[in-house]
Amino acid sequence: MMTLVLSACPAGLRGDLTKWLLEISPGVFVGQVSARVRDLLWERTVALCKDGRALLIFSAATEQGFAYRTHNHEWEPVDCDGVLLLRRPLQPKRQVRRTGWSTARAQQRSRRPRWAAPRPDATKSYQNEPDPG
């Protein structure tokens, strides 16, 4: 028995895995395959899932009764006296915050240059005052 969990992987990989495994939830595959097929599926998953994450859990003759493999996962597998554990990092990896405008704001700013005349509705008074002109 094996379970394969994918995050941020291409749709083509998901479609390819459905040939051998059952997708019980988006990105979660379960099936009963031989060790050779399992290893080939894992190699294919790692090759196609470059930026995404993958976690493979499968039956094994260990004290826990299972083993697992990870790809692009922040938690790292650690063997502690024959028991496989996942070690969480103390500090999560922080992404470097980019400075400047976001893409959406830059697009908004590019639609109306600063030197352009103000919009006609922006100069309207919301009170009932007569026009001075």
Q: Which two tokens stand for residue 77?
A: 């597998």
Find tokens 């006296």 and name the residue: 81
Q: Tell me the domain boundaries of the chain.
A: 2-87
More confident residue, 100 or 18: 18
Domain boundaries 2-87, corresponding CATH code: 3.30.70.240
pLDDT of residue 123: 55
Given a cut of 90, is residue 104 above it in pLDDT? Answer: no
Please tell me the predicted confidence (pLDDT) of residue 128: 59
What are 10-60's pLDDT values in tens digits?
Answer: 989 999 999 999 999 999 999 999 999 999 999 999 999 988 999 999 999
Cβ-count burial 61-99 (b if 16+ within 10 Å, e if not): eeeeeeebbbbeeeeeeeeeeeeeeeeeeeeeeeeeeee
pLDDT digits (tens, 9 = 90+) for 109-133: 777 666 666 666 655 555 556 666 5
Q: How many CA atoms lie within 13 A of 102 on its CB side?
A: 3
